[in-house]
Structure 1
Amino acid sequence: MNSKWEKVWGTRARELFVSFGDPLFIIKDEIVLDCNPKAAQLFGTTCQEIKGKAYYQLCPTGKEATQVFRPHLQRAAENGGDRFQTVLLKKEAEKFFADVNIYSIPLEDNSPLFIIHIRDITHQKETERKLKESEETLREFVENAPIGIFRTTLDGKILYANPKFREMYGATTDDEIATADLKRDVYKNPEDRDRFVDRMLREGKVENFQIEAKNRHGDPLWISIYARAVKDDEGNVKYLEGAFLDMTEEKRLEAQLQEIHRMEAIGTLVGGIAHEFNNILTGIIGYAELASLKVSSDHPVLKDLENIKEGARRAADLVRKLAAFGRKAILRIQKTDLNELVMEQIPLVKSLIPKGIDLEISLAPNTEPVKVDPEAVKEIIFNLCKNAIDAMPQRGTLTLETLAFTVDSELAKEYPWLEEETYGALVVRDTGRGIDKKIMPHIFEPFFTTKEVGKGIGLGLSMVYGLVKQHRGAILVKSEPGQGAEFTVLLPIFKARETEGRRDAPPPLSFEKRERVVLLVEDEEPVRKVIRETLEGGGCQVLEASSGLEALEIIHKTEKEIDLAILDLILPGLGGKEVSYRIKEVSPQTRILFISGYSPGSLHPKYRPEGETAFLQKPFTPRELLNKVGELMK
């Protein structure tokens, strides 16, 4: 530095210039007059080499540097200084981000002297880049998150809502978000909002705070809230932030599962009641028929006995419907054409239709056969059609339709026993008054009815539900008040590898009276007595037992050859199934006839007979019993 510049800066300034931690250049007329050691180090040379050169000669970019620096030098000359950021090249062409400060000092001749301060901000720029990337990643995550992320005031005004939150709330504009009030517009029960705020103030956060909510259109939602309170330095709540998790689908599936369990419980109860009634009716029907055989055809009591038998038959039909709901009906599964079943029922359906109601039939061509009990499906068709007709008291249209229905994963979640495959579908649709949402959950319950007294007892849909479930199918219902109703019954397709269920041959019309020994094991005394009297009247010798253990004692003590054992499946101690095994060990030639108020398929495996076994469902008449025994005795 010559004495000229020392006069300008002074010795102390010179010392600061040389020791400064960033590169410094002194430039006049684009020529470098001086620089500090840091500047020389930046370009990999010495100060002596730099002095006297044009500043653009120092940069590997050459004169391209003038395009960057000249405008800023001019502004610095006019304004006393300028600042900008650019990319420069160090030695060996290494790029770096530079923060450039230009200071202009006017000399005595008013020409500008420039001090250029260059600071390497590469690390800062890299930090800023990473921070920006992180912010972009976070923003992208929040904007695309599958949960509703929010920031609100303590009193429920929304400060921020991501797209999922807007979707859940049903908002399409910023104004709809800005004017929303959570307590008024989201919480179904305002008290829940008060509880939420109270917990936030006490604990500073909530986790899995579940509420029944609604969107801005009033549609129901179930929300789980996770949130925290953000406070200022004085401990006051600035805002709340967190997430809304939409639990609506989970709650719907949970309610569906609870409904399934509830119907299962009702079915178990109803099935047990049906079993007990079947035992009672077996005695009533049996004694009434036996009494009828003991009086002359013109005896006045005969009419009373016929009335008793008719009443008992009606009661048995009622119990049969109860058993169907409890999925305890006896099904004879076989390969069946669904279209043919529908067409077979059309005459009966037409006989139910009054004037003013039209019948439309749409049967899908080339449908796969279904795996069903044909008689049970006919019952289903009849009851659904009757229910539809009753829903159209004056006029309307009843539609019967068949189609192939594919069960997807969503439907399989609702009905866990369904497979994700194609089912045969029977659709019964009406244009009647529809079903109110409040009563929809109860329509399949036994004895539930909205009909007038005397118009029905509420077992038709219950029986349909039980029979469909027993087929491992499902029944889907769509309805709105005033818009009619649509019942879709899903039935399993018959697969080529499956075999048809065995159908019992028709029983013979008479029983040959021969001296046969029958072991009768029945714990209900009235039932046991009527069976014994029937068999003895048919020429059999009857050995009685009221339990499984008593039956085994008889087997081991008697010297007679037992031709037939009639066993109730549900017995105190040893069940009928276990007793049959013990009998076969002692007397392999003894034939077995099981009886029960339950259908075998509805029983626990402990009681359920295995293989093809003879079975008679209670209640049965003496004639039906004799025919079955006669068939087994042949």
Structure 2
Amino acid sequence: MKVLIVDDNEQNRYMLETLLRGEGHEVLSARDGVEALDLLKSSGAALIISDILMPRMDGFQLCRAVRNDARFKDVPFVIYTATYISDKDRDFALSLGADRFLVKPDEIELLGQTIKEVLAKKTSRVEPHPLGDEMEFFRQYNEILFRKLEKKVADLEAARQELQEQLLERNQREAERALLEEQLRQAQKMEAIGQLAGGVAHDFNNMLSAIVGYCTLAALNMKPDDPSRHYLEQILASADRASTLTQSLLAFSRKQAVNLERIDLNEAVSSFEKFLIRLLRENIELRLAIAEAELPVTADRGQIEQVLMNLIANARDAIREDGRIIIETSAAEIDDQFVRTHGFGQPDRYALLTVSDTGSGIPEDILSKIFDPFFTTKEEGKGTGLGLSMVFGIVKTHRGYIDVYSRKGMGTTFKIYLPIAQTPAKQAEKKVAEPPPLLGGTETILIAEDDDALRNVEVAALSRYGYTVIEAVDGVDAVARFTENRDRIRLVILDGIMPKMSGKEASEKIRALGPGTKVIFISGYADDTFSRAGISHKGETFLRKPISTSMLARKIRNMLDE
């Protein structure tokens, strides 16, 4: 049997051709209604299977043309469509004289059975469906086309919206990725500068220790009324200010020894108010808005105070005339939405410390640089550019986050998020006003220090206090000297970072040789190995450079007397 397939889709035609030829039918193919009519006229067909949506002449028009042609009006006509699939489409096709209406590809398995049924219908010479008049045809035809056009427009709009949502989602992902990449670059930059700052602080602390030590020794040899004593006092005062600078470097590099304890942020801020007021001019008002509920945090009180000092000093310098600074504490919660919006944080409960001012604000083009070390907009000699870098380093050391909001001419607000501690804060302990009297001794002490100037001043100072001092230039030398004099040495002083062998490694070997030996670690580069939490043995302690010879002597005497 000869079957005419009409479909503009080549893959659909191939599928039907293969299927029908497999059942022994002869197959003719056309790409639209015009081509199909030409084939009918030239070759004839016993069955027509036609799509609807085609160029030049669609399936509806082809069916109508076939039924209006006396030569072909009895040829069975099957509509096989994937586009026009509504009940109205089906009814209209059947009203034009189609014998069957099948939907692609759901009813492909019915095609063989349908062919048999329509051929049987032809044999029984069933009258074709009525076609209706010309105007009715065009009315229904246009209605179907209009409905299909509306559906296409709706589908295109839905596709457009979906594509727009996909583009927005992709742009959001790209923006988030760019933000993460920028945060990574910033973190890497800060880490590299932090390593440099920590190394500079270590070397600088060694030099300061030598300066302080020699000045102290010189002062001990002077009479109280010696006119040169004033000069030494000025040197020591300058060294003390330089020591503050190195602590700023260490805080920025996050290698400063941290004395963490449970404190109430409210109490820490309130008790520091009087000191902060001294930093301000008379035309600047300081206001505190302290939360009613306790805000326990695990923090180094001194470093929190340093954060406040630096932020208040910056706010003061930003206020040209009259102004106001507000310090506020409150509880805050960071959730997933906050993290997505701000680009930082871990979901948890936080104590929020907010410092805002009515100053000149920060220009938008430099806002991203304010935490960079040595970046400052102040006049030469009026700022080191380390203040906010130190704040950043301290906040990170406390596993916190810092954010800044500012507009030029409208002031600045810093928000610092510190994790809420799970246990209540302990009360601040009163400090001892007067140190105990300074006493020397006659014991033998081993000093290991790779910096010659610093080692010489420590040896000279401790010898003056009556101690017998054995010198070592590095960790390996210290172990060797201890091995030779283990029966005499009562206490060992070790620099933290030394060539060949670190102070920590040397102490382990020394303790293996003399288990009861007292050890003092001294370092200007206080990493976690030498923080107080890292002191693992009884009879060990840690001192941070620069340290005065009198303080060192007092610590030695206390440890020897324990």
Of residues 216, 223, 235, the one that matches 1:308 is 235
| Conserved? CA contact 1:345–1:382, under 8 Å | no
| Conserved? CA contact 1:280–1:527, under 8 Å | yes
Greater RCO (Cα-Cα under 8 Å, separation 6 or more): 2
The reply to whether residue 592 of structure 1 matches residue 519 of structure 2 is yes
Residue in 1 that maps onto 2:467: 540
Q: TM-score, normalised by structure 2?
A: 0.70
Residue in 2 that maps onto 1:618: 545
- The one-letter amino acid paired with 2:160 is E
Alignment of 1:135-534 (within 5 A): 139=156, 142-145=159-162, 149=163, 162=164, 247-409=174-336, 418-496=345-423, 509-534=436-461
Q: Which range is displaced more, 355-364 or 426-435?
A: 355-364
Gaps spanning 5+ residues in structure 2: where? 1-43, 50-71, 79-90, 103-112, 119-125, 132-144
**Cα distance change of structure 1 residues 577 and 118 upon mapping to structure 2, 3 Å threshold:** farther
C-alpha displacement at 1:601, in angstroms?
A: 2.2
Q: Distance in 1 between matches of 2:155 and 2:392?
A: 51
| Conserved? CA contact 2:522–2:545, under 8 Å | yes
| Conserved? CA contact 2:318–2:360, under 8 Å | yes
Q: Distance in 2 between matches of 1:510 and 1:551?
A: 31
Whichever structure has more strand as a proportion of its residues is 1
C-alpha displacement at 1:590, in angstroms?
A: 0.8
1:589-631 Cα shifts (integer Å, max 9, x gaps): 11010000012427799x9654673011100111110111111
- The one-letter amino acid paired with 2:300 is D
Q: Distance in 1 between matches of 2:75 and 2:430?
A: 104
Gaps spanning 5+ residues in structure 1: where? 1-17, 24-34, 43-67, 74-81, 90-94, 101-113, 120-127, 150-161, 169-223, 225-243
Q: Distance in 2 between matches of 1:374 and 1:318?
A: 19
| Conserved? CA contact 2:339–2:345, under 8 Å | yes
Q: Distance in 2 between matches of 1:260 and 1:584?
A: 39
- The one-letter amino acid paired with 1:619 is P
Residue in 2 that maps onto 1:83: 96
Residue in 2 that maps onto 1:116: 128
| Conserved? CA contact 2:324–2:358, under 8 Å | yes
- The one-letter amino acid paired with 1:369 is P
1:517-544 Cα shifts (integer Å, max 9, x gaps): 1111111011111111111111111111
C-alpha displacement at 1:419, in angstroms?
A: 3.2
Determine helix, strand or coil for the equivalent of 1:247.
helix
Determine helix, strand or coil for the equivalent of 1:549.
helix
Q: Distance in 2 between matches of 1:499 and 1:488?
A: 25
Q: Distance in 2 between matches of 1:321 and 1:582?
A: 34
Alignment of 1:9-48 (within 5 A): 21=47
Determine helix, strand or coil for the equivalent of 1:350.
helix
- The one-letter amino acid paired with 2:128 is I
- The one-letter amino acid paired with 2:399 is R
Q: Distance in 1 between matches of 2:384 and 2:474?
A: 37
1:500-522 Cα shifts (integer Å, max 9, x gaps): 99999999523433321111111
Q: Distance in 2 between matches of 1:604 and 1:139?
A: 66
**Cα distance change of structure 1 residues 599 and 88 upon mapping to structure 2, 3 Å threshold:** closer
C-alpha displacement at 1:361, in angstroms?
A: 2.3
Q: Distance in 2 between matches of 1:359 and 1:523?
A: 48
C-alpha displacement at 1:404, in angstroms?
A: 1.4
C-alpha displacement at 1:359, in angstroms?
A: 3.0
Q: Distance in 1 between matches of 2:295 and 2:286?
A: 24
**Cα distance change of structure 1 residues 591 and 355 upon mapping to structure 2, 3 Å threshold:** closer
| Conserved? CA contact 1:518–1:540, under 8 Å | yes
1:556-598 Cα shifts (integer Å, max 9, x gaps): 2226321100011111111111111111111111101000001
1:480-505 Cα shifts (integer Å, max 9, x gaps): 22221110111122123999999999
C-alpha displacement at 1:422, in angstroms?
A: 0.9
Q: Which range is displaced more, 412-421 or 516-525?
A: 412-421
- The one-letter amino acid paired with 2:503 is G
Q: Distance in 2 between matches of 1:393 and 1:591?
A: 55
Q: Which range is displaced more, 324-333 or 495-504?
A: 495-504
C-alpha displacement at 1:138, in angstroms?
A: 7.6
C-alpha displacement at 1:37, in angstroms?
A: 9.6
Whichever structure has more helix as a proportion of its residues is 2
1:370-424 Cα shifts (integer Å, max 9, x gaps): 1111111111112111211211111232111111122233665799995320111
- The one-letter amino acid paired with 1:363 is I
RMSD: 4.4
**Cα distance change of structure 1 residues 578 and 413 upon mapping to structure 2, 3 Å threshold:** farther
- The one-letter amino acid paired with 2:385 is G
Q: Percent identity?
A: 33
Q: Distance in 2 between matches of 1:388 and 1:502?
A: 30
| Conserved? CA contact 1:600–1:609, under 8 Å | no
1:107-157 Cα shifts (integer Å, max 9, x gaps): xxxxxxx973699xxxxxxxx9xx99x989985873344xxx5xxxxxxxx
| Conserved? CA contact 2:258–2:300, under 8 Å | yes
**Cα distance change of structure 1 residues 601 and 545 upon mapping to structure 2, 3 Å threshold:** same
Q: Distance in 2 between matches of 1:447 and 1:271?
A: 14
| Conserved? CA contact 1:511–1:538, under 8 Å | no
Alignment of 1:571-586 (within 5 A): 571-586=498-513
Q: Distance in 1 between matches of 2:98 and 2:441?
A: 118
Q: Distance in 2 between matches of 1:604 and 1:258?
A: 28
Q: Distance in 2 between matches of 1:357 and 1:430?
A: 10
Q: Distance in 2 between matches of 1:506 and 1:592?
A: 27
Of residues 468, 471, 493, the one that matches 1:566 is 493
C-alpha displacement at 1:347, in angstroms?
A: 1.7
Q: Distance in 2 between matches of 1:503 and 1:617?
A: 22
| Conserved? CA contact 2:361–2:410, under 8 Å | yes
Residue in 1 that maps onto 2:41: none
The reply to whether residue 632 of structure 1 matches residue 559 of structure 2 is yes
| Conserved? CA contact 2:439–2:554, under 8 Å | no
Determine helix, strand or coil for the equivalent of 1:439.
helix
Determine helix, strand or coil for the equivalent of 1:438.
helix
Q: Distance in 2 between matches of 1:600 and 1:626?
A: 24
- The one-letter amino acid paired with 2:501 is L
Determine helix, strand or coil for the equivalent of 2:259.
coil
**Cα distance change of structure 1 residues 340 and 164 upon mapping to structure 2, 3 Å threshold:** same
- The one-letter amino acid paired with 1:481 is K
4+ aligned runs moved over 6 Å, structure 1:
35-39, 84-89, 134-138, 413-417, 497-507, 602-605
| Conserved? CA contact 1:424–1:491, under 8 Å | yes
Q: Which range is displaced more, 359-368 or 493-502?
A: 493-502
C-alpha displacement at 1:163, in angstroms?
A: 5.8
1:180-211 Cα shifts (integer Å, max 9, x gaps): xxxxxxxxxxxxxxxxxxxxxxxxxxxxxxxx
Q: Which range is displaced more, 384-393 or 354-363?
A: 354-363
